[in-house]
Amino acid sequence: MKLSDYLDIHPDVENAIKNSEPVVALESTIISHGMPYPKNVETALMVEETVRSNKAVPATIAIINGKLKVGLTHDEIEYLATNEEVKKVSRRDLPITVAQKLSGSTTVASTMIIASLAKIAIFATGGIGGVHRGAENTMDISADLEELANTNVCVICAGAKAILDLGLTLEYLETKGVPVIGYKTSELPAFYSSESGFDVDYKIDSAQEIAEILKTKWDLSLDGGVLVTNPIPVAFELETGVMNDAINQAIIEADNNKISGKKITPYLLSKVNEITQGKSLEANIKLIQNNADLAAKIALHYSK
């Protein structure tokens, strides 16, 4: 079988790729495992509209009945949002999900893989996975970091998810040679907050300059991704102390309930949302929209 037998690219996306127009990949885990219904559908459609409003084409990525879908219909988004059979798919799960004709939502890692297969270089998400707190004992490190080391896709995010060990996540990215760029900031954003106490590698103030860096990196055959960290707008950020207290409480409850592996991140995000009385979910939506806005601007310059 050829690659095209596995890939199902939406006509709007395919047309944009063929004509070297700006395209922004979007992940689907947030639809099936990140938010409650119908907020998940509303957010997915809003993020796509944000990309379109910046003159780029959105390509939400998922696996449906064994097909790698690049660009979804409204019905397909609804299906992901409401079907409990939809699996959370990372790199290790991709071949099994496709071979067995199953459906899955894509994490950062698997979205990067499928975006790269479709020749899409720019990808907007909420936050990446990283090194989990206590990883020196559990060895729990997200596949997202390994994908950033190897796959030629630029990921725009609000930093690593705040439930992680941000210092160790930065160390891991440095070891793998992944540039961490702060958009208009020299400090790594901490997902719900614009401050973390950790520095990024480079502060870059324009989408055009970021696009030029991407082109230069890949022209030099320096394989691997670039991480662009984009702080949540100040009006929507949550106070760091409050968030840390909520995260610590959620981690203790996860330990008590022996939750681990791919279930840990959805559990912690849900628990933090419960503890913050919905504030973290609203912040999550705003930061994803903000990242899609920047990603579309970068894609516009990169396509030129």
Token representation of residue 60: 């939400």
Strands 87-89 and 122-124: unpaired
From the candidates 69, 88, 147, 161, which is the catalytic residue?
Answer: 161
Strands 87-89 and 104-106: parallel
165, 137 in Cβ contact below 8 A? no
Token representation of residue 9: 């690219």
> Is residue 304 annotated as a catalytic residue, yes or no?
no
Instruction: Kindly provide the residue ranges of all beta strands, DSSP E only, lying in the chain, ordered along the sequence.
Output: 7-9, 23-26, 57-64, 67-70, 87-89, 104-106, 122-124, 154-157, 180-183, 202-204, 226-229
> Is residue 279 annotated as a catalytic residue, yes or no?
no
SS3 (DSSP) at 222: coil
Spatial distance between the Cα atoms of 147 and 110, rounded to a whole number of angstroms: 8
Token representation of residue 302: 């990169």
Query: What is the separation, in whole angstroms, between the first and last Cα of the chain?
Result: 33
From the candidates 27, 48, 78, 147, which is the catalytic residue?
Answer: 27
Residues with catalytic function: 27, 161
